[in-house]
Chains A and B, each alone.
Chain A
Amino acid sequence: MTFTTSARLTSGLLRGGLVLALAAMIGWAPAPVAAQATGTLVGTVRDAASQRPLEAVQVYLGGTGIGALTNAAGRFLLLNVPAGEATLIAEIVGYRSGTATVTVGAGQSVVQDFGLQQTAITLDEVVVTGAGIATEKRKLGNTIATLDAASLENAPIADFSQMIAGREPGVVALPSSGSTGEGAAIRIRGSSSLSQLNEPIIYVDGIRVDRSAVSLSGTGNPSRLDDIPPESIDRVEILKGAAAATLYGTEASNGVIQIFTKRGRAGAPQFTAQADWTGIRVPTNRILPVADYIGRDCSSAGCASAADVTKMNEYRSRMQNRFGVTPGDFENFENDLVTDVLGPGFGQIYSASVSGGSESFQYFVSGRYTDENGVITTDVFPETDGIDFSEDTNRRVGFTSNFTIIPTSKVRIGVSTLYSDMEQSTPDNGNNIYGFFSSMLMSQPRRATAMDGGNYYGAPAFGTTREFAYQFNQAASSHFAGSTTIGFTPTESFRLDGTFGLDFTSDDRVFGRPYGHAVDNFTNANRDGDRTVREDRSREITADLKGSHIATFGDNFENTLLFGGQGFLRQRQSAGGGGNTFPGPGLETLSALANQSASESWTRVTQLGGYLQDQVGINDWIFLTVGGRWDANSAFGEDFATAFYPKASASIVPSQGLGWQNDTFSTFRIRAALGKSGLQPDAFAKFTTYQPAPSEEGPGVSPANLGNNALRPEVSTEWEVGAELGLFNDRWSVDVTYWDRTVQDAMVSRQFSPTGGFTQQQLVNIGELAGKGFEASIRGTVLQREGLSLNVFANTAYLSENITSLGGAPPLKTGGSYPRYRNYLLEGYAPGSFFGAQIADVDVPLNLDGSCTAFTREAALATGSFDVPIKPSTFKPLAIGNSTGASVPNPGFDAADGSLASNNCGSGLLGTLLGKPTPDFAGSTGFNLSFASNFEIAALFDYKWGGQNQDLSGMFRKANAVIGRNTPRAAELGAIMQSPTSAPGDRLDAAIAWAREVEGLSPMSGLNGIFDTNMVRFRELSLTYRVPSDLVDGWGLSTATINLGARNLMLWLPGSDYTGMDPETNVIGRCNGGLSCNFLQATEGWALPIPRRFTLSTRVTF
């Protein structure tokens, strides 16, 4: 057996391989060879180091049309092999090709095994996304990332969100919370829009699918992308930006993700079955205990009044009954009671698939069932007759099928379907005063009673944790995606493809409280129950027609012409109702409510586009591509002129064309691309509209959308340059890309004067957003010997973004008037930058006399303010301000030179730059170790570096006078300040510490709540054991593996002062666009930390 590097293959072989690859992609197999003296070739293809069988390896006889793909056991079978000597070739992306000279006698069956060595560079990998037709990566001037699902089959991933997390530089999956069923938001190269959803568009098998979140109340919002079973995915292709996504036109500027599901292969049915059992546990090490002290509520001097004495005794009695302690006055008490409601969760996944077929018909059918019971537990509470606690569960059933029909050698028909059914239930959660978990974090032990006392966890307001346990958020969703692709190849050089499909989703969501939920007689929130029902239906229709023609001119030039047209129709219907007050227990329908309301909406967006692209290949190592896309979109009305997005790119492989290669520098490619793509607003955004506003005297109307007749798509222009370097015979690879993006005509949700009648923000094309960054990855083989190999990888992505213009629009803040969300869109700063109050850097940062002058310690004591007990609310911190003149771009915010013009007596109190939500660097690193022939250990670490996060729940817990001040530090300082026995100096010191560490919220929004955050997460660890083939054979199986996996094992925050529970959680969860959705990704608020997950899985094929 001999090995050749791909670089040494002749161009003829490359073309042959490509043809075969294309043939494999379309499911085409050559016709049987006419009867002659023939034999049979069989064998197994394995990874040379790990001895892992390799599936889907192309094994073919050179110079013939005879070939096959290996099955899950790595086995291949070639029938009708002409007798004689031949060259057998085995190829698969990610491995160096294997060749062997075999001699087959008539009627003989010859065994030829391969052990392929891994290669770190994959320029010959065939992709289709963004290229229009199947094309090798080396011909493309832009970045395209590919995820091979086969390489992840042993990774501890349960859904698509986990599948793409941490794999590619520049592609970030944001998990949002640890709530059961929560989907991840996806960002590619940051944000390319200030107002529109910054998620990439998603295609499955050629059709657009719904990428939205199933919006529940708070967090725990499932992602539609998780409807796609990971086991059914063959590979994922990711276009990272406008330069690559031009052919996708309007809506593509956030990138494109295309998912290709598995296809059947000719042969006997091959079955795969897998079972996963997962234990789930929330880490509690960063959840601060609740703390409290007796005397906090005193209103009289020295707590001497009869009312205060009575109140203190009452609280002391409660704590004795509840916790068995009798704290003295102003004595701190701490308890980890939050962990009471965080039990172990459990999940199970069962999946199975079968594939096979004949040369003219192949199939792949799979099914999957998942059931997860989350970590929220209500076991501590006694049940109440007639009403049930909300569940914390997610269940999905999914089916996929792919059928390939080849009626003639020129026609290929593919039919793909996906069906998913999901049920999700969570208690109220997130940044919500009725949240189950948040109510635990608000606990104040002095208020706690025995269970029958009605306030087991010491709720200060709104309701008890037990009452909130009855509040439910439920979703029942169905998702169907079906597509048909017809390929017609009238000649070898000309090809036509048509893809038609429908993606349909149906969400029924119910939120509410049952009648009688106020079991502790505490909450006043609709004590007789309430219910809200929403039913959403979404249809997305894709029609895609394209043609390609490949022409060669002599031996040196190849021209590929691509043309096509697309149509998309997206329609959403929503209807619902809600109300409150059931007449009695047991009723659970809207019609039973005393107060009812209803709503309905309907939108449709149609997009029509066409594109043309031409690629010239010179000597098979220089590739130049130019193209363009035209789009029209109903969001702009029928009078809107077509938008045009051009592109150009170049790819040069000097190592091939100029022979710049040796054993050390084995492959070298440089590439550059320039392109545009767009983003459109939602339907009807340009029109001035009035909405229904029924009054008590009859139907009415009120202003809705201000309108903007000049509204048009925002346009991203991006260029990128990059290079790939293969080292040490391609055992190592280095891939670097620099990109630069400018979004012009950026749509800004501008707030016009509310007294002008229209309070909704109006989209206007006045912004400009600049972004740039680089992505680098390195991967390679450290060790490779028989039975032992170690592969490592590391990648990083640097991101820099800046709003270069808001077109004169006022700054925009997340959350509207809600002051605690501090992310702004502000000219000259990164989108979503944090602005807020910052404590003055003086010895005594207290505004003792309202004049905003800093006191010395002596002067502060001399005021006498600290001679007597003080409450935290009675003094004001001294914060710096940034009052700048009206002539600067952002009056009231940080001056460009960072100068501070005033303290908190001036405007600009909330205008200090405190950070930005997107980290400078994000990436991952990991390794894969194979040993003892049948074992593998793989690990993945994620990291983010150089950003800031807001600990909103911590700010409430520290500073809020009613529901907070229950962290150990807040209680400690509060007790010192309020205790009559404290010395004045101690009170002053406590007040200073309070100002520097604890004070926050209104009117000091942002103070002591936004921190530098660097994060490293031990994301994945897996140990895989492949049962030896001799054992497996005895069981009648092809393969069997046992896998132990873990996710989110550890979290480190090196060099960070972040105080929150988990910097990966945020207040919005998976969401559907808008300012807050886009830029609150680094604001943690009452969400469950990301749980650790431990999975045992087994997989067999037969």
Chain B
Amino acid sequence: MIKKIKAPILAVAAVFTLTGCDLLDVDNPNSLVEEDIQREAAANGVANGSLRLASGAIADVWEGPAVVSDELYWTGSRDAWGQLDQGFIDDPYNEFTDGAFPGFGQAVWMARNAVTILEGHVANNPGDADFARDLARAKMFRGMVLMVVGETQDDMTFSDKQEDGAPVGPAGMSGILDQAIAELDAAVSGFSTLGETDLATTATAIRARAKMSRVIWDVLNPSATVGTAIAMAAARTDAETVLASVGGSDWKYNLTFSAASTSNPMGSNVNSRGENQWDESLVENTGPGASGRTGVVTLGDPFTGGSDLAVSAALTQWGTGTYGPISIATERLMRLIVAEDALAGGNTGDFEAQINAIRDLDNADAAHDYTYAAGNEVEALTHHRRVNTLFMGLRLQDMYRWGITLAKWDPQSAALTAPGTMLPITIVECRANTTIGEANC
């Protein structure tokens, strides 16, 4: 009997012994492990991954401030958009800013990780142009995403996997913009060395924006102590460099979206779901369920009386689907930077020329050119900056610095009671980050 019992036990043991190891070692074809992405063959994918995450995150994180501002307003089912519409931008529990934060944080981390990995490849392969190009791209993407952090966040953390990073603190956010500029310096240098003039122009344009944002940050945070203030002229220099290359072409550096990569969250929310719509001061939404796709421009051009051509152009770029691009840097923005610096310097001729150069991009005829006159320069600047930077993540800061308020803002909202307030570190980070905790959010 013992023999009879032994046999099946031995059989079971044999199954374990002979097959156990192989059966338990299951390959995973769905994803890569850590060592895979450190390989040189993955270099381009790492840089592209950084771009992909930055694209989605920036489009996502910009929607909240756009709803707070006069770019979008809430028309859907989810009240947290309504909170933003009323100017409550500082609520860490807001589902949309909270929902956008993880992707934003991930994009920041991936941007740094990509630079680190590619720096290793470049160090191991000096002279390899492909690695150098990918590294310059990675630095440009990192500079770009750090720039957006500095523009849209009131505070930020920088963690690494399970190592929690402490909040930079509101005063430290200018340093983030400084880091962005430093990364973009490296990108410009890298592209220039490689002879990639178009990419160098792009990186320079982004740097111009970053420098301008650094200037604005100082305006909105006058008591800030971190970093060294940047002169407006520095931004102007970059802008002029860009204009020298692409002036007159209505050049844009856009983050683009498609079914092959990812969709634009703002486009999806506005064009498909109808959760938010273009502000009625810009576009009248016609039809029972229409949104921007069938809208009619309502904003008038202060100098022609007609509907604003730049809004029309922006509406065209926005498109009707969920894959409309968003602009990071444009010729229009470069000219606005030059114009604002010219105005600040009292060079009204240059200011007028830059404004008209922008208007020319929309085929405004000469009869409708802007003519400088004492007292109209503020309207000229604020109007043209508004309509030529639509959905570029800059409007709310501009409203703050120019003291523009909205009737839709609740008297108790941060937008009204504390101008300059941007997005907080949200509850998902507060809870997960041991250096913060929910009670301190």
Residues of A within 8 A of B426 (CB): 817
Q: Is the CB–CB distance between B159 and A632 below 8 Å?
A: no
Residues of A within 8 A of B293 (CB): 524
Asked if A697 meets B36 with Cβ closer than 8 Å, knowing A462-B273, A702-B110, the reply is no
**Cα(A704)–Cα(B437), bound, Å:** 24
Residues of A within 8 A of B95 (CB): 817-819, 1002
Asked if A754 meets B439 with Cβ closer than 8 Å, knowing A638-B25, A695-B55, the reply is no
Q: Is the CB–CB distance between A1003 and B105 below 8 Å?
A: no
Q: Is the CB–CB distance between A606 and B45 below 8 Å?
A: no
Q: Is the CB–CB distance between B272 and A610 below 8 Å?
A: no
Q: Is the CB–CB distance between A884 and B321 below 8 Å?
A: no
Determine if B53 is an interface residue (Cβ-Cβ < 8 Å): yes
Q: Is the CB–CB distance between B52 and A885 below 8 Å?
A: no
Asked if A604 meets B26 with Cβ closer than 8 Å, knowing A433-B76, A700-B47, the reply is yes
**Cα(A565)–Cα(B16), bound, Å:** 9
Q: Is the CB–CB distance between A757 and B113 below 8 Å?
A: yes
Question: Of A461, A702, A753, which is within 8 A of B105 by CB?
Answer: A753
Determine if B162 is an interface residue (Cβ-Cβ < 8 Å): yes
Question: Of A601, A699, A850, which is within 8 A of B48 by CB?
Answer: A699
Closest-by-CB residue of A relative to B412 is A850
Q: Which of A236-277 contact B (CB under 8 A)?
A: none
Asked if A580 meets B321 with Cβ closer than 8 Å, knowing A755-B157, A756-B109, the reply is yes
Q: Is the CB–CB distance between A811 and B26 below 8 Å?
A: no
Determine if A907 is an interface residue (Cβ-Cβ < 8 Å): yes
Report B17 CB to chain A, min CB distance, Å. Answer: 11
Determine if A1029 is an interface residue (Cβ-Cβ < 8 Å): no
**Cα(A694)–Cα(B30), bound, Å:** 14
Closest-by-CB residue of A relative to B54 is A695
Q: Which of A727-756 contact B (CB under 8 A)?
A: 750-756
Question: Of A597, A606, A701, A756, which is within 8 A of B164 by CB?
Answer: A756
Question: Of A524, A701, A956, which is within 8 A of B42 by CB?
Answer: A701
Question: Of B77, B94, B322, B412, which is within 8 A of A956 by CB?
Answer: B77
Interface size on B, residues (CB 8 A): 106
Determine if B256 is an interface residue (Cβ-Cβ < 8 Å): yes
Q: Is the CB–CB distance between B165 and A753 below 8 Å?
A: yes
Asked if A962 meets B75 with Cβ closer than 8 Å, knowing A757-B160, A759-B106, the reply is yes
Residues of A within 8 A of B323 (CB): 595
Residues of B within 8 A of A462 (CB): 76-77, 273-274, 289
Question: Of A604, A700, A703, A810, which is within 8 A of B109 by CB?
Answer: A703
**Cα(A268)–Cα(B285), bound, Å:** 76
Q: Which of A668-718 contact B (CB under 8 A)?
A: 683-684, 687-707
Binds A, one of B1-9, B169-177, B335-343: B1-9
Q: Is the CB–CB distance between B25 and A1002 below 8 Å?
A: no
Determine if B20 is an interface residue (Cβ-Cβ < 8 Å): yes
Question: Of A580, A605, A757, which is within 8 A of B106 by CB?
Answer: A757
Q: Which of A584-637 contact B (CB under 8 A)?
A: 595-597, 601-606, 608, 610, 632-634, 637
Report B245 CB to chain A, min CB distance, Å. Answer: 21
Asked if A549 meets B439 with Cβ closer than 8 Å, knowing A696-B261, A811-B431, the reply is no
Interface size on A, residues (CB 8 A): 108
Residues of B within 8 A of A688 (CB): 33-34
Q: Is the interface of A mostly helix, strand, loop or mixed?
A: loop
Question: Of B25, B96, B162, B261, which is within 8 A of A752 by CB?
Answer: B162
Interface string of A549-572 (1 = CB under 8 A from B): 100000000000101110101000
Asked if A633 meets B5 with Cβ closer than 8 Å, knowing A597-B260, A886-B440, the reply is no
Binds B, one of A355-363, A364-372, A515-523, A768-776: A515-523
Q: Is the CB–CB distance between A567 and B23 below 8 Å?
A: yes
Determine if B83 is an interface residue (Cβ-Cβ < 8 Å): yes
Determine if B411 is an interface residue (Cβ-Cβ < 8 Å): yes
**Cα(A549)–Cα(B5), bound, Å:** 8
Q: Is the CB–CB distance between B99 and A816 below 8 Å?
A: yes
Interface string of B208-235 (1 = CB under 8 A from A): 0000000000000000000000000000
Q: Is the CB–CB distance between B23 and A608 below 8 Å?
A: yes
Question: Of A463, A606, A817, A884, which is within 8 A of B289 by CB?
Answer: A463
Determine if A963 is an interface residue (Cβ-Cβ < 8 Å): yes
Report A226 CB to chain B, min CB distance, Å. Answer: 30
Determine if A547 is an interface residue (Cβ-Cβ < 8 Å): yes
Q: Is the CB–CB distance between A521 and B15 below 8 Å?
A: no
Interface residues of chain A, those whose CB is within 8 Å of chain B, are 433, 454-455, 459, 461-464, 490-491, 494, 496, 520-526, 545-547, 549, 561, 563-565, 567, 569, 579-581, 595-597, 601-606, 608, 610, 632-634, 637-638, 640, 683-684, 687-707, 750-759, 810-811, 816-819, 850, 873, 876, 883-886, 891-892, 907, 910, 956, 959-963, 1001-1003
Interface residues of chain B, those whose CB is within 8 Å of chain A, are 1, 4-5, 8-9, 11-12, 15-16, 20-21, 23-26, 28-34, 36-37, 42, 44-53, 55, 74-80, 82-83, 88, 91, 93-96, 98-99, 101-103, 105-106, 108-110, 113, 156-165, 255-261, 271-274, 287-291, 293, 321-323, 411-412, 426-429, 431-433, 437-441
Per CB-CB distance, the 7 closest pairs between chain A and chain B, nearest first, are: A700-B48, A757-B109, A565-B12, A810-B431, A755-B105, A700-B49, A522-B289
- 10 further A-B contacts with Cβ under 8 Å, apart from A524-B273, A956-B77, are A461-B289, A462-B289, A565-B11, A603-B28, A694-B260, A707-B34, A755-B105, A756-B165, A819-B80, A960-B77
A-B contact pairs, 29 of them (CB 8 A): A461-B77, A462-B77, A549-B5, A563-B8, A563-B12, A565-B12, A567-B15, A581-B321, A604-B26, A684-B26, A690-B49, A696-B257, A697-B51, A698-B44, A698-B45, A699-B45, A700-B45, A706-B161, A752-B161, A754-B429, A755-B433, A756-B163, A758-B161, A816-B99, A817-B96, A850-B411, A885-B439, A963-B76, A1002-B79
